[in-house]
Amino acid sequence: MLRFLSPEWVAAFGEAVSPIEVPETGADAGLAVRHGEFATCVMARTESGDTVSVTLTVAGGRLTASAGAARDAAVTVRVGWNDAIAFMAGTWAPTTGLAGGRAQVRGDLCVLRATGLALEAVQPYLFALREDTGY
C-alpha cells in the first residue's frame, strides 16, 4: 500500500499518467497557461500537522509529478489533507476551498484551473493507483 503523496506514490502517479496527453488549454486561457507549459505546487497538511508537497507540471502535452515544492511553480496552493486528496482526484473546487478558508493560494489562478483540468483528464488512468493508496 502506497501512502498518499509519499515519494513512492508520486512516482507511481507519474508512471500512470506518463502516456496520457492532456487537453490543450483553450483560447480564453490566461497568458501563463496559453503556451501549454506551467507548474503547480500543492502543499498539504497531514493529520499530524506536517506538510507534504508535490509539484505538478504540464509540458509537451503531458502531466508529470515530482515530490517536493518547486520554486518556479506559477501557483502554490496550501490545503488540508482531505482537500489535497480531492485536488489530486480532480474533484477539488477552488472557489469552495478559497471561500471556505480551507485553502491559501499564491500565484496565477489560471494555472490552478488549468492544472485542475489536466488532473480531471488523467483520472480514468489512476484507478489502480487509487486502489493501492493509503490515505
d(CA 119, CA 18): 12
What does the chain come to in residues? 135
Average pLDDT, the chain: 89
Portion of the chain with pLDDT greater than 70, in percent? 92
pLDDT tens-place string over residues 14-29: 999 999 998 776 656 5
What integer pLDDT is reported at residue 97 of this predicted model?
Answer: 75
Nearest to 75 by CA among 111, 104, 103: 111
Query: What's the whole-number mean pLDDT along residues 83-88?
Result: 94
pLDDT tens-place string over residues 29-39: 555 565 678 99
d(CA 67, CA 65): 7
By CB neighbour count within 10 A (0-12 exposed, 13-18 middle, 19+ buried), where does 83 fall?
Answer: buried
What integer pLDDT is reported at residue 98 of this predicted model?
Answer: 77
Classify residue 20 by its DSSP letter. Answer: P
Grid cell listed for 32: 501563463
d(CA 116, CA 93): 9
* pLDDT above 80 for 59: yes
What integer pLDDT is reported at residue 84 of this predicted model?
Answer: 95
